Structure formats: structure tokens, C-alpha cells
Structure 1
Amino acid sequence: MPRRHHAALLLPLVMITALGACSAGPSIRPVIAVRGDSGTPTEAAPSGQQPVPDLEDGKDSGLNWQECTDSTLLRLGPTAPQGGSFQCARMSSTLDAPSRPGRGSLSVSVLKAGTGKSPLVVVSDADGEPGTLKAARLASSLPPEVLSRFSLIGVDRRGTGKSDGVTCVPESARLDIVEFDPASTDNTELRGAITTASQECVLDLENRLTAMDSWRAAADLEKLREALGVGRLNAVGVGDGSRVLSLYASRFPNRIGRMVFDGAPDPTLDAIGAAEARAVAAEATFDAFAKDCAVRGCALGANAKQEFTALLDQLRTTPLRVLGIALTPGTASQAVLVGLADRARWPALADAISAAKAGDGNGLVGLVEPLVADVDENPPRLDAALVTGCNDTSTRIPPDRVTVLTTDWREKHPLFGALYAQRLLLCASFPVPSPLKVPALNGAPPILVVSTATDPVTPQQGTERAAGQLPAGVVVGWQGGGHGALGLSQCATTAAKDFLLDAKVPANGTVCPP
């Protein structure tokens, strides 16, 4: 189990991935909600496919790097990679709330790993591991030559991690959200918890609330590029982090460097379509997990799905309690979704499900904990992901519509359908932003987009559609499972290495074996 601080705050983990439903965009045409235009360059945007930009050394003129290896290892927790050293810095960026455009400030936390002279920025999911920690983990799994040419620069996007992290949802509301049973036919309790969460966040954050979105996170990256002393931004986007890089490319088309998207949200679906696509992908990922489980001879045996559904029935009558959190069918379902997203943790996930059936809920609660508690010096992830997701869309789904969808999806996608339908309520009580059309990206250099066959967070088909909307998106598809392929698939990792280091663009549609 991870070390705990404020253990009573334990709550839902994969609930944040639900925010893809909130951040998918309007119900007719899914345009990301954006407000304000600070930082938009005045240079003429390029047209058509551009060549892969040259690499350049960073000048690091605007950042004061300090050794932070020990503190980073603490934040990484028991699963911290071995070896390596890290440096950390803070950067000031403009808050730019809609009510105070171009005014205010916030602090952005960044981390450096590697010794290369060219910076390679890492941007992660709003509900996932903060970008600083994601970069630290990637540093241990990428080929050594990448870390010789590049320094990975992980950035905690605004409101997450150490970047003035958002903590505004009351503990009781978090618990009510994560523990809510997907089998329930009355979502009144869930709606009450969401209303409480939104009210408290509005009061606590004030002007900061509406400034926590992907559009302004993209502007933070432009500040970072300037601080790193390079003319173009080289970057890796993980999951929803790819959305931020897409917005960056639209806002700053003359600053696009060598970019890799490791999974990307589907830009063509509305909120309901995006939520159902995730439900379908989650079911497929569980099937892949179950097959892997049977091959390995794991604790769940040859029928992991039957064992999991039996656990849910068991918890429905006899929930377990672990350090202040109730392990209910809702908690267990979200914990399993978290485990499915991390391919390296599939063996531990199988053990955790088996242990819960025997009355030990520590393993499943440990999977959920980072999203809902202050763990290893990291703020709970649910709050920032909830605020960011609801600021990224003007769509609000009526409760009666969610009730109908819950019933329908429970039948069509029995493991996770109802849970994803209920997540459509998450933004219901949050202020509705005023959408602004994102500038069209008409010209760009090749961008490498890596998809994963069974990805419960950014489904394969959606990632491929995201690549198709780029002027020069090139897809490499890994036939594996989990969220993200870099560092897991040797084939996909090599393709990214060759692209980043040598500007070698793979053939579009390249397939990597599982």
C-alpha cells in the first residue's frame, strides 16, 4: 500500500477518467470550450504539411533548477523506478481567468530528468499521475539515447500536482461519488454529492475556478517554451495531455516541434458518444486482462469476469472498510478501471480482486487512493480533474437522460456501462463556460500518434480519429492493452525514439505486435 497522509480523505480513482465524458465537447459538435485569447501569436500560420523541425539546444534562461531526487522518489511512492536523478523548478504563468483576462498569476511545477541539451516536455492526463512524475517514470523506460539527447521536462498542468494544486471537493462528497453503486436505479445521492462538490469549488476557488482548463494549460506550455530557451516545443502528450498539445498546436502553429501523442481523446464524439466509447473500451480491456490472467494462471483462475462480478455482489451486501473508505461495488469498479489502465499492474490487480473476495480490501483501495487522498505529498487527483473537465465543455446532460442511458448501458455493457453513464452527471452542477471555437490547424509538421488496441481511457478508434484531424498525423498502433504504449511496447517506443532523435517518420498505420 502507498504511504498515506490524511488517510480519511480516501476516495474514487478512475472517476477522473470519467471526465472524458465531460470534456468531450458539446452534444452536437464536440468543440473544446475555450475562453480568452491571451498568448496567441500574431505570426501567419503555416499551411499544409511542414518538414520535421530541427532540434535545438535549450538555454534554460528562465528556470532555477534545484536538486529534488529524494522528494520526487517520495512522491513516486513504493513503485518508484530505480536509479536516476531529478531537478525541479517553478515557473510563473498568467492565470487569465475569463473575468480577469490577462491578469493574475499561478505557479507551475516542472521536473527535469535526463542529461540531453534539447528539452522534451511531458504532459499527462488531468486525472492521471502528474506530468512531473510521469516524466520521472518515462525516464526509466525510454531508450538511454533519448535521455542523452533530450532532457524530459515533466509539467504538472495547472491545478494538478504541485502546480498550485486544486483541493476543493469536500471529503464526504468524494466518498459519496466513488462509493455510489452503479447498479442503483436512483441517482439522487450521487447528484447531491456532485452539487456539494461544485458549490464548494465555486466558493473555494473563486476566480481561479474558471481558469483551470486545457486552453490555458496550453498557454502555460508557451511560457515554458520561452523559459526553456527554444524556438519550438518538443513534447510527449499522454492521453488527455495530447489534447493540451493539440490546443497548443492550434494556438501556436509556428512553435510546433517534434511531438508524440501517446493516446488521444476522440475529437469527433459528443459527450454521450465519448462516454459509451470508453465503456466499450473498458469492457474490451477487461477481456484482455482476463485472457492474460488465464494464461498466467493468476489468482482469479480462468474466469476473471465471473470472479469480479461475484465480488460486486458480495460487496453489495457486505462492503469492506479500509481506513475510512467503504469498498462498495462502485469503489471496486473504479479501482478495477484504474488497474486496467496500467498494464504493468495487471498482476497486482488480479491479486487485489482475489484478496477482496477473501475480505482484504487494501489492494483495491490502494488503486483508488491517489485520486481521492493526499498520498505521498500529492494532492487528490479528483478535484483538479473534475474542475478541468467541466471547464473544458459547455455540455450538461439532464438527469432524466442519464437515467435512461444508465438503464440502456447496464444491459449493453454490463461491467462498466452504468458507471460511465452516471459519470455524465459529474458536470451537471458546475458553471457552464462560454465556448469559443478553437483556431483551425491548417499546417503542421508530422505528429506521431500512438494508439493502443484495448485502451480504457483513450480508445484506439478515437486516437486514430484524432490523428486523422491533424494536418500530418501519423499513426503507430500497438496491439496491446492498457493506457499508453511508450515504455511498454518496444516497437512503439522505437518508432518514437527514431522520430524524436532522427526525424524518421514511420509509415502511417504501422502495427506493433502485443
Structure 2
Amino acid sequence: MRRLWWLLPLALLASCAAGPSARPAIVVNDGEQPGQTTPATGPRPLPPLSEPKNSLMRWAPCGDEITDRLAKLTPPAELRIDCGRVSGVLDSPYAPGRGTMRMQVLRVGTGPVPLLVVNDIDGLPGTLYAVRLAMSLPPEFLTHYSLVGIDRRGTGNSDAVRCVPEEVRAKLVDLDPRSGDIEPVVDLARTAGQQCTLTLESRLPALDTWRTAADLESARVALGMAHLHAIGHGEGSRVLSVFAERYPDKVGRFVLDGLPDPNEDPVVAMVGVAEGADAAFSAFAEDCARRACELGSGARQALTEVLASNEFPLAPGVVLRGVFAALHDRQSWPALSKAIADARSGNPDGLSAFADPVIQESDALPATYDGTLVTRCNDTRGRLSTAQLAATAKDWNTRYPVFGGLIAQWLAVCSPWPVASHPVTQPQAPAAPPMVVLSTATDAVTPHSGTERAAQQLTSAVLVSWQGAGHGALGTSACATAAANAFFTEGTVPRDGTVCPP
């Protein structure tokens, strides 16, 4: 059954979404074919800053589909925001080098040098994340750079993935991760995969990190930059590391904030996430007690009571996804403590609001679950049997009682999928210039141990470790933010192994 999905007759799709301009920037060949690199004997020096030349971008006021989402972030009125489009190549395995991928980009700030921002596949669309990040950086930073957020392929307003039937998605997320029963997860994942194959056709295997890295090269050309300067947040950092592997002579100044574990064994990589997620909840509980929140010193007990309640309207899987999503953003922790307190009193609204972006779709935005499912399964090489999955779920539920079962479910949902044409490699980027990797000691998404391994693997990477908690250090840790600022604006490479206080 696994192999048959990919043997269905497929027709190449070239789908477009409405944007602020009817004529997006058209990428032209500037001397290299996709995937080619210029030979080098070792790491390149950090390139100098330069302003764009021959930019193909057409910036315009953002349309309603963007401004409505921006309103929820409440950016200050003086923050200039414009929108545009970049066209890349779909590059499906069924039509290599052909097809069109149109991507939404958003520019925030007035600095002359564009700095691309790439976010997690399951987080805010990159356009919105760039605005939120701009609001947390020193104002003078935006006099040097303008942040250019990109909705990566299959997300946000970049031909977003909508392929899992609503009822199938609802059943998948409702399953109680603590039960350890893996067979229903695998069965539903098989149905989801079949429907995604029928809906997406040849686009399905083209939604992965390898091809997303090529989209960044399309963005570089469209922006008129000799070198790409960029920030990767969480799993978005992996896209930048793959870009550095594929296009080392196009790498400018890269900051990778929370680079994921590069291990190709999904169990090894994901066990760190389970451990990090539980540690992050413990950090949240300690923070809650310290600031005398609604839960006092009983955050863990309150969550246990909510999960055990037969009267609570949200299924345990939805509750855990809501809590996990809220842990990503340190600024959301006060709202999370209130949401858990309200849930203990029978009010599900707060937790539901955190979980809704993952599972609920609207005309304006897709559920992030679909794009995450397709990209993660296309990126991963390892597949486990049902017996192995059941054993792993049982073990992780014991060792990591809050989120162990939820993380184990991500191993299960990919088990029926075939291995795609370009599973994520382990980038070393030996010819790329220095890159700064930021890690966070207690990170629910990209734990420090995995980020440290990834940094060690990248030839020219230097590691700056923040001893705090949350997902990502940039804009949260003053020390890590200062190191990144000096790297971007002055070309100062921090000392490898720098440690920032909590």
C-alpha cells in the first residue's frame, strides 16, 4: 500500500494565490543551475554587506488576507510593512526543474539590506513571524536591515497545503497520546496520506526542506542580493543549513536560532524533543510559581486534572497540543497559566485558542497540521514498525509523562509514508562562511543537545548558548540578541562556546 500512493497517475499542478501584485518577481538564471555549488577549499570569509542591485521585487501595501492577521500582532504604527511575491520552481520529482511555486513575502522596516526570515514549518507563517521578531529587536537594527519574512512552500499564503480531510484531522488530534495505542494513529495517518496524495498529486513530494532551500535561492535573486543574509528560527534554521550545503558561495550572514538535531534516526532526534518539551513545562511551572500565577505551585497538578476530567469538552490530544504550542513562546506563558486555570474551572476557550492554528482551518489560513505532516514525512528517512512504535510510545510516556506520547505520535503519523526523493541530509557546509548558531538550554522544540550536535556538524558554525527557557533566544535573551546584532551589523563573529546567562 505504501508504494502505490506514489504510482497514481499524476498531473503537474501550477497553482497561484492572490497577492498584492499581479506580476510577481520572476527569477532568472544568474549563472548556476539549482543544486550546483562553486568549488572551494575551505570556509569562505564572511562577505561584506552590500545593498541590493537589480532587484526584481515589487513591493506594495499588503492585502486584507495579510493585514487581518497582522492586526492580531498589534505592530506599532511607525513600523513600515509591505508585501510582495517571489516565484520559484516547484521541481517535483515527476517534473524536475519545472512547475511554478509562488511565495508570499513581507518586508518590515526600512533598512537598506534585506534579511530573510524563515520560521518553523508548524509555527507562524514566516511573514507574520518576521513582524513579531522585528517588534522584539533593537529599533536601530532596522536602520541597517529590513526583515523579509517568507511563507515557505505549503504554508501561510504560499500555496498552503490543505489535504487532510477535516474529520480525519480531528480524529488524529483527538486521540489520547497517553494511551500508547498506536494502531489507530497509523490507520488514520494512512488515510490522511492517501487523501493528500489524491489532492496534491505531483506537488506532494515537492514539499520538503531540500526544495525549500532552493526557494531561498529564488528569493535571493529576486531581492537582487549577491549573498543571502538570513535568520532561521527553529526548524527554519535547518532550511538555512541545507541552503549553505547547496549554495555555499551565496551564503551571507546567517543566524540559526534553535537548529534541530541532524540525526537521521527519527527516534534519536525526537527523543530529545520529548525530553525538551517536558523540561520546558517544568520551567513554565517554576516560572508560574515564581510570579504567583493563577496556578501557584500546582501547574503540573492542574494540567493532570484537566486531562483526567471526563467533563472537559476538549480531548486530551487537543489539550496537550494547545499547551505545547503555548510553550513555544515565552511571552505566552502568562496566558497559558490562565488558560489552564480556566480549563480546570471548565472553560476551554484559552487552551482551544492555542490549539486552533494547528487543527482548525479557515478561508484565510490553513491548519498548520497538514503542511507539517507532509513536510516532516517527506524530510524523514526512518520508518518504524507498529510494534516498534508501540514500544517507543510506552517508553516515552513513562520517561516523559507530559509530552512523551504526543511526540511519539509524530513518529507514527509518518510510518505509512514512503521515503521521499530528498530526505534531509546532514549538512556540513564545509565551504560556507562563519554562521552563528543560537541554542536555548530548555527548548520545547529544538533542545540544546540537538542544536549543539548540529552546530558541531557544520564546519564553520560557532555556538552561542542561552541558559534560559523558551523556543529560540533571538529577541528574548539580551546577550544572544547582542551577539547576533554585532554579527549582522559589524561582522563580529562571537567566540564559539559563548554562554549567555538566563
- TM-score normalised by the chain length of structure 1: 0.88
Following the alignment from structure 1 to structure 2, what is the Cα–Cα distance between the partners of residues 235 and 42?
Answer: 19
Matching residue of 2:214: 219
**Structure 1 residues 282-321: aligned runs within 5 Å:** 282-314=277-309, 317-320=310-313
Structure 1 residue 61: deviation in Å? 2.2
Structure 1 residue 77: deviation in Å? 4.8
- 1:68 matches 2:62: yes
Matching residue of 2:361: 374
Structure 1 residue 51: deviation in Å? 2.0
Structure 1 residue 435: deviation in Å? 4.6
Please say which of residues 481-490 and 267-276 is displaced more in the overlay: 267-276
- 1:431 matches 2:431: no
- 1:418 matches 2:412: no
Following the alignment from structure 2 to structure 1, what is the Cα–Cα distance between the partners of residues 75 and 186?
Answer: 40
Question: Which amino acid in the other structure matches residue 345 of structure 1?
Answer: S
Structure 1 residue 188: deviation in Å? 3.1
Following the alignment from structure 1 to structure 2, what is the Cα–Cα distance between the partners of residues 266 and 124?
Answer: 16
Q: Which runs of 5+ in 1 are unaligned?
A: 1-36, 321-326
Question: Which amino acid in the other structure matches residue 154 of structure 2?
Answer: G
Matching residue of 1:329: 316
1:161 and 1:379 in contact (8 A); partners too: yes
**Structure 1 residues 51-62: aligned runs within 5 Å:** 51-59=45-53, 61-62=55-56
**Structure 1 residues 315-464: aligned runs within 5 Å:** 317-320=310-313, 327-374=314-361, 377-435=364-422, 441-464=429-452
Of 449, 452, 466, the residue aligned with 1:478 is 466
Following the alignment from structure 2 to structure 1, what is the Cα–Cα distance between the partners of residues 217 and 251?
Answer: 10
Of 461, 465, 476, the residue aligned with 1:488 is 476
Of 228, 234, 239, the residue aligned with 1:233 is 228
Matching residue of 1:101: 96
2:229 and 2:253 in contact (8 A); partners too: yes
Structure 1 residue 399: deviation in Å? 1.2
Following the alignment from structure 2 to structure 1, what is the Cα–Cα distance between the partners of residues 426 and 336?
Answer: 40
Matching residue of 2:183: 188
SS in 2 for 1:218: helix
Question: Which amino acid in the other structure matches residue 62 of structure 2?
Answer: C
1:74 and 1:376 in contact (8 A); partners too: no
1:176 and 1:189 in contact (8 A); partners too: no
- TM-score normalised by the chain length of structure 2: 0.90
Following the alignment from structure 1 to structure 2, what is the Cα–Cα distance between the partners of residues 305 and 381?
Answer: 27
Structure 1 residue 375: deviation in Å? 5.2
2:37 and 2:246 in contact (8 A); partners too: no
Of 11, 24, 34, the residue aligned with 1:39 is 34
Determine which structure has greater relative contact order: mean sequence separation of CA pairs < 8 Å that are 6+ residues apart, divided by chain length.
1
Residues 439, 404 of structure 1: CA spacing in aligned structure 2 closer, same or farther, 3 A cutoff? Answer: closer
Structure 1 residue 475: deviation in Å? 1.1
Among all aligned residue pairs of Structure 1 and Structure 2, give the percentage whose two residues are the same amino acid.
48
- 1:278 matches 2:273: yes
Matching residue of 1:115: 110
Matching residue of 1:48: 42
Matching residue of 1:80: 74
Question: Which amino acid in the other structure matches residue 105 of structure 1?
Answer: T
Question: Which amino acid in the other structure matches residue 104 of structure 2?
Answer: S
Following the alignment from structure 2 to structure 1, what is the Cα–Cα distance between the partners of residues 488 and 479?
Answer: 14
1:69 and 1:87 in contact (8 A); partners too: no
1:237 and 1:260 in contact (8 A); partners too: yes
2:307 and 2:319 in contact (8 A); partners too: yes
Question: Which amino acid in the other structure matches residue 66 of structure 1?
Answer: A
Following the alignment from structure 1 to structure 2, what is the Cα–Cα distance between the partners of residues 237 and 435?
Answer: 20
Question: Which amino acid in the other structure matches residue 319 of structure 1?
Answer: F
Query: How many pairs are equivalent?
Result: 469
Structure 1 residue 394: deviation in Å? 2.5
Residues 345, 438 of structure 1: CA spacing in aligned structure 2 closer, same or farther, 3 A cutoff? Answer: closer
Residues 72, 396 of structure 1: CA spacing in aligned structure 2 closer, same or farther, 3 A cutoff? Answer: same
Q: Deviations over 1:363-408 (max 9, x none)?
A: 0010011122235822211111111111112222111111111111
2:59 and 2:82 in contact (8 A); partners too: yes
Residues 185, 506 of structure 1: CA spacing in aligned structure 2 closer, same or farther, 3 A cutoff? Answer: closer
1:38 and 1:96 in contact (8 A); partners too: no
SS in 2 for 1:141: coil
Following the alignment from structure 1 to structure 2, what is the Cα–Cα distance between the partners of residues 408 and 213?
Answer: 30
Q: Deviations over 1:202-233 (max 9, x none)?
A: 00000000100110000111111111111100
Structure 1 residue 68: deviation in Å? 1.4
Question: Which amino acid in the other structure matches residue 388 of structure 1?
Answer: T
Following the alignment from structure 1 to structure 2, what is the Cα–Cα distance between the partners of residues 440 and 488?
Answer: 28
SS in 1 for 2:114: strand
Q: CA RMSD in A?
A: 1.7
Structure 1 residue 347: deviation in Å? 0.5
Structure 1 residue 50: deviation in Å? 2.7
Structure 1 residue 434: deviation in Å? 3.4
Matching residue of 2:18: none
Residues 103, 438 of structure 1: CA spacing in aligned structure 2 closer, same or farther, 3 A cutoff? Answer: farther
SS in 2 for 1:298: coil
Of 166, 173, 176, the residue aligned with 2:168 is 173
Following the alignment from structure 1 to structure 2, what is the Cα–Cα distance between the partners of residues 233 and 330?
Answer: 40
Following the alignment from structure 2 to structure 1, what is the Cα–Cα distance between the partners of residues 99 and 481?
Answer: 40
Structure 1 residue 177: deviation in Å? 1.4
Following the alignment from structure 1 to structure 2, what is the Cα–Cα distance between the partners of residues 146 and 204?
Answer: 43
Following the alignment from structure 1 to structure 2, what is the Cα–Cα distance between the partners of residues 500 and 125?
Answer: 21
Question: Which amino acid in the other structure matches residue 54 of structure 1?
Answer: P
Following the alignment from structure 1 to structure 2, what is the Cα–Cα distance between the partners of residues 445 and 408?
Answer: 41
Residues 376, 263 of structure 1: CA spacing in aligned structure 2 closer, same or farther, 3 A cutoff? Answer: farther
Following the alignment from structure 2 to structure 1, what is the Cα–Cα distance between the partners of residues 47 and 428?
Answer: 20
Q: Which runs of 5+ in 2 are unaligned?
A: 1-31
Following the alignment from structure 2 to structure 1, what is the Cα–Cα distance between the partners of residues 258 and 350?
Answer: 27
2:55 and 2:224 in contact (8 A); partners too: yes
1:394 and 1:434 in contact (8 A); partners too: no
2:248 and 2:432 in contact (8 A); partners too: yes
Matching residue of 1:262: 257
Matching residue of 1:3: none
Matching residue of 1:156: 151
Structure 1 residue 49: deviation in Å? 3.2
2:393 and 2:404 in contact (8 A); partners too: yes
SS in 2 for 1:443: coil
Following the alignment from structure 2 to structure 1, what is the Cα–Cα distance between the partners of residues 181 and 494?
Answer: 50
